[in-house]
């Protein structure tokens, strides 16, 4: 699924559309957020978390590495691996203890092994003044979600 995102509002809307397509129980899902600095990964994550019911600020986990959210019916972990130098560091982050929620992972290229475990990859790239966004299913359930994406949202 690909889409041109002319502005930040379109990026937030794409996140809300993805939430609408996700199952009610997102426990164990891993969504990778890829893109260069400033392409909208945090904007996308914030919009998704707020659409799930979070009220208040959604700080970037750049320094904390993991920001947890307890929402009605959902547990979400916003993870930023920018400062992770080695995939082994995930163990020290308590990665396996985060399986009880949805994991939104920025900078997943810092831990290449995540690709095999992830369900979806959201890629954001510069495209003139806007961005191009693409959502790709990686696991069988992720592939099913993308293939069943509402027809009016496919481009």
Tokens of 3: 């889409």
Q: Is the predicted pLDDT of residue 155 greater than 50, yes or no? A: no
Task: Write the CA distances from 79 to 39, 63, 103, 127, 134, integer angstroms.
Answer: 17, 10, 7, 25, 20
Prediction pTM value: 0.91
pLDDT bracket for residue 154 (50, 70, 90) = very low
Q: What is the pLDDT of residues 36-61, one digit of tens each?
A: 998 999 999 999 999 999 988 887 87
Residue 128, C-beta contacts closer than 8 angstroms, at least 6 positions apart: none
Q: What is the pLDDT of residues 60-119, one digit of tens each?
A: 877 678 889 988 888 999 998 887 877 777 777 777 788 889 999 999 988 888 888 999
Q: Is the predicted pLDDT of residue 13 greater than 80, yes or no? A: yes
pLDDT bracket for residue 152 (50, 70, 90) = very low
Q: What is the pLDDT of residues 115-144, one digit of tens each?
A: 889 999 999 999 999 999 999 999 999 999
């Amino acid at each position: 699924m690909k889409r041109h995102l002319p502005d930040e509002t379109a990026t937030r809307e794409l996140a809300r559309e993805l939430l609408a397509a996700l199952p009610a129980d997102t426990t164990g899902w891993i969504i990778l957020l890829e893109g260069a600095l400033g392409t909208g990964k945090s904007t996308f994550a914030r919009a998704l978390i707020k659409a799930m019911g979070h009220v208040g600020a959604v700080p970037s986990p750049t320094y904390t590495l993991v920001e947890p959210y307890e929402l009605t019916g959902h547990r979400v972990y916003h993870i930023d691996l920018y400062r992770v130098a080695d995939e082994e560091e995930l163990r020290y982050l308590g990665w396996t203890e985060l399986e009880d929620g949805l994991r939104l992972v920025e900078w997943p290229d810092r831990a290449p092994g995540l690709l095999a475990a992830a369900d979806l990859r959201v890629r954001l790239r510069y495209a003139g003044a806007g961005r191009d966004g693409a959502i790709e299913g990686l696991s069988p359930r992720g592939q099913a979600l993308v293939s069943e994406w509402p027809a009016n949202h496919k481009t």
